[in-house]
Amino acid sequence: MSKNFEKNVEYEFGFRIDDMFSVNSSGIETFDDKELVAYYKSPQFSYRYHYRVFDDRFINCDLLKRTRDKYSVMRNLITGKNISLITTKQESAFDFQHIFLSRLPVDINSISLQTEEISYCFPLYRYPETDNHQTTSQTYTRIPNLNAEIVNQIATKLSLSFTNEKEIPSEGEVCFINSVEVRPEFRLTFAPIDILDYIYAVLHSPSYRETYNEFLKIDFPRAPYPTDTTTFWELVALGAELRQIHLLECSIVEKYITQYPVDGNNMVGKIKYLDDKVFINERQYFTNVPQIAWEFHIGGYQPAQKWLEDRNGRELNFEDILHYQKIMVALVETDRIMKEIDKVFTF
288, 293, 290: which is closest to 305 by C-alpha?
293
pLDDT of 182 > 80? The answer is no
Angle, CA of 303, 96 and 76, to the nearest 5°: 70
Give the per-residue pLDDT at 11.
Answer: 92
| Minimum mean pLDDT range among 43-47, 260-264, 283-287, 308-312 | 43-47
Q: What percent of the chain has pLDDT over 70?
A: 88
Greater pLDDT, 3 or 330: 330
| Dist. CA 50–CA 103, nearest whole Å | 8
24, 80, 33, 83: which is closest to 59 by C-alpha?
33
Give the per-residue pLDDT at 172.
Answer: 45
Mean pLDDT of 127-147: 74
| Dist. CA 296–CA 303, nearest whole Å | 7
Mean pLDDT of 90-104: 88
pLDDT digits (tens, 9 = 90+) for 196-232: 999 999 999 999 999 999 899 889 999 999 999 999 9
Mean pLDDT of 169-187: 58
Count of H-run helices and E-run strands, the chain: 13, 16
Mean pLDDT of 106-124: 92
Cα within 13 Å of Cα(183), Cβ side: 2
Residue 60: φ, ψ to 5°: -55, 130
**Helix, strand, coil share (%) of the chain residues, nearest 5:** 35, 20, 45
Give the per-residue pLDDT at 271.
Answer: 98
| Minimum mean pLDDT range among 89-93, 146-150, 172-176, 233-237 | 172-176
Strand 189-190 and strand 161-162: pairing? parallel
| Dist. CA 134–CA 136, nearest whole Å | 7
Residue 9: band (very low, low, confident or very high) from pLDDT cuts 50, 70, 90: confident
Greater pLDDT, 130 or 197: 197
pLDDT digits (tens, 9 = 90+) for 293-347: 999 999 999 999 999 999 999 999 999 999 999 999 999 999 999 999 999 987 6
pTM of the model: 0.92
| Dist. CA 295–CA 292, nearest whole Å | 5
Give the per-residue pLDDT at 186.
Answer: 73
345, 242 contact by CB (below 8 A): no
Helices (H), 67-191: 68-74, 148-158
Burial 117-148 (b: 16+ CB within 10 A, else e): bbbbbbbbbbbeeeeeebeeeeeeebebbbbe
